[in-house]
Amino acid sequence: MGRASAPRRTEKLAAEVRELGVKALVVGADLTDPGSVSAMIDAVKEEFGSLDVLVLNASGGMETGVGEDYALRLNRDAQVNVLETALPIIPAGGRVVFVTSHQAHFIRTTPTMDAYEPVALSKRAGEDALRERIPALTEKGVDFVVVSGDMIEGTITATLLERVNPGAIAARREEAGRLYNVSEFAAEIAQAIVDPIPADNERIVGDISGFRGTE
């Protein structure tokens, strides 16, 4: 488990996993720091030898005091660097899962809230950069899939959006019919690890009727 913060919560989860008889490794890393990423992947290699599944779930850009280019550095550049750094230890039959939001996935056809736009644009740029690597991944026998979800109840992003745009979560919930919580969306990501890869390399979770370009 890679983490940037919340070490207690991550260690607690790792302990629960170990109680099930599963090995767990917790590594704190700054994905925007190539040296930190290399150290994380080295730790994985030393502990497990290889990495069967890489889930790229880190996201950000709404934080304060991180620099104007932080969203792009984290959501595009760091995602690509993590993949390229980890790829040597991902064997044939492995899988890469990139997690994004509908607001980012469909940003080219459907505008989003102003506060989230830098995140959406940079995450879409990250998705595009990763998709460009599908031929190389396929040649190595590694699968790639994008998992796109709506606003997720209980996440820090949803909390920040609600803070700058009160009522945004309730409005989206009403429009979509329902919003997934963290556990429900996590289950979809886990399922994407084992399900066959769709022809378009994407798994859409939840309602997308309000997004143009989805007909």
pLDDT in tens, 28-83: 899 999 999 999 999 999 999 999 999 999 888 777 777 778 999 999 999 999 99
pLDDT greater than 70 at residue 214:
no
Model confidence pLDDT, tens digit, residues 146-195: 999 998 888 888 888 888 888 888 888 888 888 899 999 999 999 999 99
Residue found by looking up tokens 């550095």 in the block: 73
Residues 121-150, mean pLDDT to the nearest whole number = 97
Q: Which of 71-74's residues contact partners 24+ apart within 8 Å by CB, and which partners?
A: 71/118, 71/119, 71/121, 71/122, 72/122, 72/125, 73/32, 74/31, 74/32, 74/122
Confidence band, pLDDT 50/70/90 cuts, at residue 121 = very high
Of 160, 155, 213, whose CA–CA distance to 180 is shortest? 155
99 class by beta-carbon count within 10 Å (0-12 exposed, 13-18 middle, 19+ buried) = buried
Per-residue pLDDT at 4: 63
Per-residue pLDDT at 167: 87
For the entire predicted model, the pTM comes to 0.90
pLDDT greater than 60 at residue 215:
no
What does the block give as tokens for 88?
């040597």
Per-residue pLDDT at 55: 97
Which CATH entry fits the domain spanning 54-204: 3.30.565.10, 3.30.1330.60, 3.40.50.720, 3.40.50.2000? 3.40.50.720
